[in-house]
Structure 1
Amino acid sequence: MQLSEQCVLITGGARGLGHHLSLAFAREGAQVIINYHRSAQAAQALAAQLGPRQAIALQADVTDPAQVQAMLATAAGHFGRPLTTVVNNALAAFSFNGDARPKADAIGWDAFQSQFEGSVRGALNTVQAALPAMRAQRFGRVINIGTNLFQNPVVPYHDYTAAKAALLSLTRTLAGDLGPDGITVNMLSGGLLRSTDASAATPEAVFDYIAANTPLRSVTTPAEFADAALFFASPWARAVTGQNLVVDGGLVRD
């Protein structure tokens, strides 16, 4: 299915990386559901910019399955077509500032639980809500947003990295389970992006260090990362599933 024929849910689609994901899919002609939790103003402004035939801003806490179901029902009524693609981008509150992160002797389980709820439970809820439509079409694309900290754990983001690692495992088991239905499930993993709301607290010296150690000598931007997400939703990725593509300018190469 061409991108221009797709109806795409982007969780956390109003700000930061989500904003750029929404713009990238809309640019290719897809109809976009801009999901938000608290960022109503940003979501509605983006939807207005794209126009009602191409985008709708809908509030839902993705950790609540009933809210996710209601959101997709509203979107189907608005666009008159079923959902084809899910981009699980929503992130529980987090600040990428390594100097301020709790170390192993101080971090509490509540921090882990918050990240697991946002990353893993949120993704499970969106996939389960989307499955009836995807199975009926025998077509579906699920793209989960991960991190290169699996391979390069240079900062002690224990809770965030553990949750994203669990999401990678879910990505691979879902790929095996849903493949016979024509549904692919993949992960797109980035490093530090320059810049998003979450990385706004990152010291400039950290950005400079990453750029100096990356083959492209630059820190990946949200727009560059968002463009890579289009591949997994496109016809060119129709035989790709259960994969984790790292998009960080070549910083991590294994």
Structure 2
Amino acid sequence: MDLGLEGRVALVTGSSQGIGRATAELLGREGARVVVTYRNHRDKAEAVAATIREQGGDALVVFFDLASDDSIRAAAAAALERWGRIDVLVNNAVQWGSVAPGSAPPFEALPGDEWRKVLRANIEGAYAAIQAVVPSMRERRWGRIVNVSSGLAVNGMPGSSAYSAAKSALHGLTRSLFKELAPAGILTNVVMAGLTLTDHARDAIPAAMLDHVAQSSPIKRLPTPAEVATTIAFLASAANTTVNGEILLSSGGHA
């Protein structure tokens, strides 16, 4: 299937690794010019860009911090300066904060600053990224926005209250924007990933827990980043002409 991405410009946030990396590389193979972003791992982002170029595509590496509106606007400005347009936004970057869910204090002891930091970065960062790219999409009366969410938005997890709340808010934002932006030719959707077999998951989660989740899934395994990326790429493409305002689970049926 031709996804109709040849020559289009895609900004993929958090694309130095994991689902973001797989998405950036897939969009590059489909002919999109890709803005690869990073916050902590420029070397990994450069490796993603190199892979895209080796496949015959074009890529630009830029710094991107969800907690900084200035960095978000600068990333969009860099894309516009390089290519004069932004057609696709994949809001994939996340920030967990300084306390991992497994070692988080009881909710009543969670510091307000920590709550606000995680909540604001993960929802206000997505808001700022969308706001930065929409003018270019409106100008051409075509755009695709894919907000990457998590099963935690609906299932929750002890210690993840701020992150889960932010992802739930992302669903509400999408459900409003899809109606507001559609008349301008801009489709907005959510891909809700479950536990995905990323390098980070392998490093951070005990193998026994990964196996338990895999066996509780209808497909009896965990999806790979590349598999989630195919769902994102379709929604981000010209092949998608009618899917709008949807929250799609891309996990094999296990949130």
Structure 2 CA distance for partners of 1:8 and 1:20, relative to 1, 3 Å: same
1:56 maps to amino acid: L
Which one of the candidate residues 168, 174, 184 is aligned to 2:187?
184
TM-score of the aligned structures, taking structure 2 as reference length = 0.89
Equivalent position of 2:32 in the other structure: 30
* Cα offsets for 1:13-42 (capped at 9, x unmatched): 112221111112112121110011221111
1:74 maps to amino acid: A
Structure 2 CA distance for partners of 1:74 and 1:97, relative to 1, 3 Å: closer
Deviation at 1:180, TM superposition (A): 1.3
- Distance of 2:30 and 2:18 partners within structure 1: 19
Deviation at 1:188, TM superposition (A): 0.4
Structure 2 CA distance for partners of 1:215 and 1:181, relative to 1, 3 Å: same
2:163 maps to amino acid: Y
- Distance of 1:236 and 1:96 partners within structure 2: 40
Unaligned runs of 5+ in 1: none
Equivalent position of 1:142 in the other structure: 145
- Distance of 2:232 and 2:156 partners within structure 1: 23
2:184 maps to amino acid: D
Which one of the candidate residues 58, 61, 64 is aligned to 1:57?
61
Deviation at 1:231, TM superposition (A): 1.5
Equivalent position of 2:72 in the other structure: 68
The worse-fitting range, judged by mean Cα deviation, of 66-75 and 216-225 is 66-75
SS of 2:65 mapped into structure 1: coil
Matches within 5 A, 1:38-187: 38-51=40-53, 54-78=58-82, 80-93=83-96, 99-187=102-190
4+ residue runs over 6 A deviation: none
* Contact 2:72–2:128, Cα closer than 8 Å, also in 1: yes
Structure 2 CA distance for partners of 1:138 and 1:219, relative to 1, 3 Å: same
* Cα offsets for 1:39-60 (capped at 9, x unmatched): 1111122212322951110113
Deviation at 1:162, TM superposition (A): 0.8
The worse-fitting range, judged by mean Cα deviation, of 57-66 and 182-191 is 57-66
- Distance of 1:190 and 1:116 partners within structure 2: 19
Equivalent position of 2:210 in the other structure: 207
- Distance of 1:148 and 1:96 partners within structure 2: 19
- Distance of 1:38 and 1:209 partners within structure 2: 31
1:70 maps to amino acid: A
SS of 1:197 mapped into structure 2: helix
2:78 maps to amino acid: T
SS of 2:85 mapped into structure 1: coil
2:60 maps to amino acid: I
* Contact 1:97–1:203, Cα closer than 8 Å, also in 2: no
* Contact 2:12–2:90, Cα closer than 8 Å, also in 1: yes
Which one of the candidate residues 228, 233, 237 is aligned to 2:231?
228
* Contact 1:68–1:129, Cα closer than 8 Å, also in 2: yes
* Cα offsets for 1:169-212 (capped at 9, x unmatched): 11111112111111111110111111242663112121111111
SS of 1:128 mapped into structure 2: helix
Unaligned runs of 5+ in 2: none
1:44 maps to amino acid: E
* Contact 2:143–2:186, Cα closer than 8 Å, also in 1: yes
Structure 2 CA distance for partners of 1:155 and 1:228, relative to 1, 3 Å: farther
Which one of the candidate residues 7, 10, 28 is aligned to 1:5?
7
1:66 maps to amino acid: D
Deviation at 1:65, TM superposition (A): 2.8
Structure 2 CA distance for partners of 1:105 and 1:198, relative to 1, 3 Å: farther
Equivalent position of 1:248 in the other structure: 251
Structure 2 CA distance for partners of 1:105 and 1:63, relative to 1, 3 Å: closer
Coordinate RMSD, CA, aligned? 2.2
SS of 2:107 mapped into structure 1: coil
